[in-house]
Amino acid sequence: MTFSREIIKHLRNAESICVLTGAGISAESGVPTFRGEEGLWKKFRPEELANFQAFIRNPDLVWEWYAYRRKLIHEVKPNLGHHALVELERRVPDFTLVTQNVDNLHSRAGSKNVVELHGNIERSYCIECRKSASEVQIESTHEAPRCDSCGGLIRPDVVWFGEMLPVGMFARAEAAARRCQVFLSIGTSSVVYPAASLPFSALEQGAYVVEVNREETDLTSRAHETLLGNSGEILPQLLSSL
């Protein structure tokens, strides 16, 4: 792929870059996305699994679903797209990677300043006393484990439908979007708010906004550029063009 002069110039000169990623960046590692033909929500109804009431009604079913996803994530590796973002972080003084993914693949790749907007599937905690669960408890595959301090149910530390984002996380993400000179939106369908508002905050403050996606999204008409294709191919090429 050849890149425009603008994007190369903006990326070379930027002292502050904010990146927002979604499930698409992990697709080439083998983690299913949420929407689209192969999406997770096509097979499972979110209201049955990814909300607090569903968990209280059927903790074992919800736990088992997350245990299945955790196992899948443990079996895959970060891809060239994740690695390209590690390299980009090394080159820029102020770099923030905001992710909607709970798969921990950015940190496993080596990214440092990661803002996890929707939590992290590697962590769990007690719904009663909020104590973090031990690894042994998290490894339970069929039954939702119980807290060893108070006996409360242990839940995954991810944001469910209808829940607030972790305290302070969105504020950090928004501050990064507002101060950056280049904003990259990668592999997200741009439909889940408040994450989807971040590129618009960046645009308002004059940032150069670039989208990387296999298809057009609600952001496409507002972004300065959309690079259509796989992030695992486009991002390494972009880095080597700088």
Give catalytic residues, as residue numbers: 118
Least Å from the CB of residue 28 to ligand OAD: 5
Nearer to ligand OAD, 144 or 184 (CB): 184
CB nearer to ligand OAD: pick between 165 and 207: 165
For residue 93, whether the previous peptide bond is cis, meaning omega lies within 30 degrees of 0, is: no
* Per-position x/- string for 136-155, each x denoting binding to ligand OAD as judged by CB under 6 A, each - no binding: --------------------
- Under the binding rule (CB under 6 A), the answer on residue 181 touching ligand OAD is no
Rounded Cα distance, 9 and 228, in Å: 20
Of 7, 17, 18, 23, the residue at the interface with ligand OAD (CB under 6 A) is: 23
- 58 CB burial (10 A radius; 0-12, 13-18, 19+): middle
Chain centroid, CA 132 distance in Å: 22
Rg from Cα positions in the chain: 18
Window 24-43: residues binding ligand OAD (CB under 6 A): 24, 27-28, 33-36, 39
In the complex with ligand OAD, the residue whose CB is nearer, 108 or 214, is: 214
CB of 36 to ligand OAD, least distance (A): 6
Give the span between the Cα atoms of 131 and 202, in whole angstroms.
36
Is 67 within 8 Å of 142 (Cβ atoms)? yes
- Beta carbons of 99 and 106 less than 8 angstroms apart: yes
CB of 71 to ligand OAD, least distance (A): 18
- CB 76, min distance to ligand OAD, A: 13
44 vs 178: CA distance, rounded Å: 36
Residue 201 or 231 having the CB closest to ligand OAD: 231
Nearer to ligand OAD, 179 or 229 (CB): 229
Positive or negative, the CA dihedral 229, 75, 158, 111 is negative
Residues 89-128 that bind ligand OAD (CB under 6 A): 100, 118
Q: Cα(first)–Cα(last) distance of the chain, in Å?
A: 13
Size of interface with ligand OAD, in residues (CB under 6 A): 26
What does the binding site for ligand OAD look like in residue numbers (CB under 6 A)? 22-24, 27-28, 33-36, 39, 50, 100, 118, 159, 187-189, 192, 212-215, 217, 230-232
